[in-house]
């Protein structure tokens, strides 16, 4: 199969959940033997192109990348368009032009739209069809990362921004919802990151074809790690805190948990990519919290704590940091609704509670129980090691596309 994949940006280094997911799917899909071309912006941290709006790069997996400029434009221009701000920025700077040329000059068996923000691609696809069709009549796949209509509306509703910005968030959320609905309506296949999100999509689009593609893990599995008294009495939260939803979730949790943890002699450490201004704001507001910020490697921090936290109040989806915790031998503690898609049982494998207050109490009662901590981290790794392999996800996606193509050819 000759496949065209559209994603947000070159996903290496993969230092956020979004980039980890796209990178894992692209690599595992390419490994199935398809011929794969990817359109994206270049990575602004470590560019592989020449900085222009039209760079070429072939990676070690023999994937051909056609890359737009690494820098994205302003969000303000989107206010006067039908596009969400992310989508408006991502279509400009090379990718839209590259897509138009690819549709005009080449034949594709499948076009994969990776993330709702790439929904702008439906415009050029529909226009090309209206001008006389697209060669091969490709299967259109929408790869979702979250149920965007739900999460964007939650962000707007829970934002503490002043009225003008809050109204802009509400408008952007409705644009995202309309764009996602169009993707679900027009695509031939929709993938979701958990079965729960498949069911959410199915409520409005019951006749669509769906598959669930939970993430995989390809790093080191720390089977022999043991949690002993010399490990600091510390809980860690890792991740990327650049997105407003992550910031709202984090600040809400710290308002409830920072002081109780400190009073119990439990160090709370926050590690992950964020703007320095936000990190300093949190350091000033919550001085009892160790807000490390961005680091080159997460491993030393994950191996030097007793528990990892999953505490998002809203957002849904699969949290990729759960796999980082599990495969580093770090027991998990979190809120029931923040953990989807894990084949683990509470309290045997994972500590889950309905609210932050009970989570704090659970961590307090568990953090010095070394037998329980080691049983949790051992059992979690055993259960998840065979359940989260990237190669299975790429094959599942390729098989689903091939099946749809076969049905279309027979029809």
Residues 380 and 396 in one domain: no
Q: Tokens 């691609």 — which residue?
A: 121
Residues 245 and 201 in one domain: no
Residues 167 and 258 in one domain: no
Please check whether residue 223 lies inside any domain of the structure.
Answer: no
Total tally of structural domains belonging to the chain? 2
pLDDT higher than threshold 60 for residue 365: yes
Which pairing describes strands 267-271 and 189-192: parallel, antiparallel, or unpaired?
unpaired
Strand order in the sheet with 35-41: 55-58, 64-68, 35-41, 2-9, 110-114, 139-143, 189-192, 210-212
Summarize the confidence of residues 47-60 as an average pLDDT: 96
pLDDT higher than threshold 80 for residue 132: no
Task: Write out the two tokens for 237.
Answer: 């939260």
CA distance 118 to 226: 43
Please check whether residue 227 lies inside any domain of the structure.
Answer: no
Residues 108 and 50 in one domain: yes
Residues 27 and 81 in one domain: yes
Structural domain boundaries, residue 274 = 234-385
Q: What percent of the chain is predicted at pLDDT more than 90?
A: 74
Best CA proximity match to 32, nearest among 393, 404, 403: 393
Residues 273 and 165 in one domain: no
Residues 6 and 118 in one domain: yes
Residues 204 and 250 in one domain: no
Residues 301 and 162 in one domain: no
pLDDT digits (tens, 9 = 90+) for 159-192: 777 778 888 889 999 999 999 999 999 999 999 9
pLDDT higher than threshold 60 for residue 410: no
pLDDT digits (tens, 9 = 90+) for 366-388: 999 999 999 999 999 999 998 99
Residue 361's CATH number: 3.40.50.2000
Please check whether residue 222 lies inside any domain of the structure.
Answer: no
Could you give the count of Cα atoms lying within 13 Å of 213 in the half-sphere of its Cβ?
31
* 287 CB-near residues (< 8 Å, 6+ apart): none
Residues 155 and 261 in one domain: no
Please check whether residue 30 lies inside any domain of the structure.
Answer: yes
Please check whether residue 315 lies inside any domain of the structure.
Answer: yes
Please check whether residue 225 lies inside any domain of the structure.
Answer: no
Residues 178 and 250 in one domain: no
Task: Write out the two tokens for 383.
Answer: 């259960």
- Report the DSSP beta bridge partners of residue 334: 310, 352
Has this prediction a pTM greater than 0.85? yes
pLDDT higher than threshold 80 for residue 315: no
CA distance 298 to 308: 12
Residues 239 and 126 in one domain: no
Please check whether residue 228 lies inside any domain of the structure.
Answer: no
């Amino acid at each position: 199969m000759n496949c065209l994949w559209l994603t947000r940006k070159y996903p290496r280094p993969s230092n956020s959940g979004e980039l980890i997911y796209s990178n894992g799917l692209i690599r595992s899909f390419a490994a199935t033997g398809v011929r794969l071309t990817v359109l994206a912006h270049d990575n602004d941290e470590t560019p592989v192109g020449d900085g222009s709006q039209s760079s070429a790069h072939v990676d070690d997996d023999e994937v051909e990348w056609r890359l737009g400029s690494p820098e994205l434009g302003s969000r303000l221009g989107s206010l006067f368009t039908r596009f969400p701000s992310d989508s408006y920025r991502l279509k400009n700077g090379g990718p839209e032009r590259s897509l138009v040329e690819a549709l005009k000059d080449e034949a594709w068996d499948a076009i994969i739209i990776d993330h709702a923000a790439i929904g702008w691609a439906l415009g050029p696809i529909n226009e090309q069809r209206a001008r006389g069709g697209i060669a091969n009549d490709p299967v259109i796949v929408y790869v979702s990362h979250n149920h965007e209509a739900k999460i964007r509306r939650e962000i707007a509703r829970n934002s503490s921004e002043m009225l003008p910005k809050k109204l802009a968030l509400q408008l952007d959320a409705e644009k995202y919802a309309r764009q996602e609905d169009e993707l679900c309506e027009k695509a031939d296949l929709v993938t979701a990151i958990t079965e729960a999100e498949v069911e959410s999509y199915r409520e409005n689009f019951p006749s669509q074809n769906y598959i669930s593609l939970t993430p995989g893990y390809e790093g080191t599995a720390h089977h022999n790690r043991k949690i002993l008294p010399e490990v600091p009495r510390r809980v860690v939260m890792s991740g990327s805190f650049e997105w407003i939803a992550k910031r709202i979730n984090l600040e809400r949790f710290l308002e409830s948990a920072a002081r109780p943890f400190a009073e119990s002699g439990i160090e709370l450490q926050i590690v992950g990519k964020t703007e320095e201004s936000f990190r300093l704001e949190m350091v000033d507001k919550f001085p009892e919290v160790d807000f490390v910020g961005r680091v080159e490697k997460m491993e030393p921090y994950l191996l030097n704590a007793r528990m990892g936290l999953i505490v998002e109040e809203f957002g849904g989806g699969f949290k990729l940091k759960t796999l980082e915790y599990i495969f580093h031998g770090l027991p998990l503690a979190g809120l029931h609704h923040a953990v989807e898609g894990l084949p683990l049982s509470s309290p045997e494998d994972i500590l889950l509670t309905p609210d932050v207050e009970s989570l704090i109490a659970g961590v307090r009662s568990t953090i010095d129980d070394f037998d329980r901590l080691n049983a949790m981290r051992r059992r979690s790794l055993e259960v998840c090691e065979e359940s989260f392999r990237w190669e299975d996800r790429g094959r599942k996606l390729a098989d689903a596309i091939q099946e749809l193509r076969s049905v279309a050819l027979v029809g």
